[in-house]
Amino acid sequence: MDGRRVRARPGEGARLREEILRTAEALLVEAGTEDALTLRAVARAAGVTTPSVYLHFAGKEALVAAVCLRVWDELDRRMERARAGEADPLRALGACGHAYVRFALDHPVQYRVLLMRPAEPEGAAIASTACFGHMTDTVTACVEAGFLRGDPRTLALGLWTAVHGCVSLLITQPSLPWPDDLDGFIEDTVRMAGYGGAVASRLPRGAPPPPSPASSPTWTASPTACTGPAPGDRLGKRSQGYDPREIGRDARTCDHPGMNTSLKAFLEGGPDDLPERIVGIRPPGVELKLPFRGGYEHFKVTSRHRDTAEGRLPVYRHTGRTAVAE
């Protein structure tokens, strides 16, 4: 033999590259670190020569990037499914956030290599651009619907920072006291980021914090904002019963049009003759205070949800009543 390499038949080069990637991916996941992914080790595991690997990948970083990017198409599919399953833009944002975190936890090694190291020329830019694109598309829909205010790219970066931080801690700090209901924890984290962004986008930067809870109304998601008496109304005639549209007309702090979304809660307990058992909340808080018959009915959020004609809603349990002197 003259030692010259025999030209591969059509299609053999692509098949060899795919076999190298599959082998390298198995080694990466098994080792849990890219340090084990040398071209020589991959060649040995794939049953080919090291020069054969070099024909397809210029070096280790190129191979590592190609291996990790194999799963990024799956992220595209998950995000598309999350958006397609929700007609409400704000709910779609939450679904996408949950899908993003779950994708990262299902592929922790690839996620860490591409998005938790100093950016390398290959791979990281492609991965981060794809993630940012998904976030921006979903946030843009929320801005166009009036749920969020501001530049979609800046808002997307803020929300991405929150979910990426959640993912990073879950991957790198497994010994922290994570709750047993991890999906519930992820959902709560995504909700805090989304609803917090909705509120923050309406507050002037540097605005002072609100008064203490004892003297301030409770935030809710009704179109007229937080619960509490209307300006100048000490629970007079308008508050002998209540109109859900009247909850919280406090224009000084909370009058933010466009927030009347599908954010609602189911009220459990309290007076039997409450006019409504499903009320708007903005943003979801721990407590809810409703004016009713010359006083306030207090409700506190629980960990439970209830299926209703308007969807699956969080349950707020009645905790007591406060009478207000005339």
Give domain status of residue 228, yes or no: no
Does the predicted TM-score (pTM) go above 0.85?
no
- Residue 288 placed within a domain: yes
92 and 192 fall within a common domain: yes
- End residue of a domain, out of 30, 46, 69: 69
Share of the chain above pLDDT 90, in %: 15
Domain of 111, CATH number, reads 1.10.357.10
CA separation for the pair 314, 284 (Å, rounded): 9
Answer yes or no: do 165 and 143 share one domain. yes
Q: What is the mean pLDDT of residues 28-38?
A: 80
Q: Is residue 221 part of a domain?
A: no
CB contact at 8 A, 89 and 145: yes
**Per-residue model confidence (pLDDT) at position 325:** 60
Domain enclosing residue 290, as ranges: 237-323
Q: In this structure, is residue 279 part of a structural domain?
A: yes
Q: The domain that contains 27 carries what CATH number?
A: 1.10.10.60
Residue 222 resides in a domain: no
137 within domain boundaries: yes
176 and 85 in a single domain? The answer is: yes
Lowest mean pLDDT segment, chosen from 55-64, 154-163, 169-178? 55-64
C-alpha span between 65 and 73 (Å, rounded): 14
Q: How far apart are CA 150 and CA 146, in angstroms?
A: 10
Is the same domain home to 46 and 83? no
User: Does residue 180 lie within any of the structural domains?
Assistant: yes
pLDDT band at 307 (very low <50, low <70, confident <90, very high): confident
140 and 76, same structural domain?
yes
Q: Does residue 285 carry a pLDDT above 80?
A: no
Is the same domain home to 142 and 185? yes
Instruction: Specify whether 40 is located in the same domain as 136.
Output: no
Please indicate, yes or no, whether residues 35 and 105 belong to a single structural domain of this protein. no
Q: Does residue 305 contact residue 324 with C-beta atoms inside 8 Å? A: no
Q: Is residue 295 part of a domain?
A: yes
Domain count, the chain: 3
The domain boundary, picked from 23, 38, 69, lies at 69
Q: What pLDDT does 216 receive? A: 41
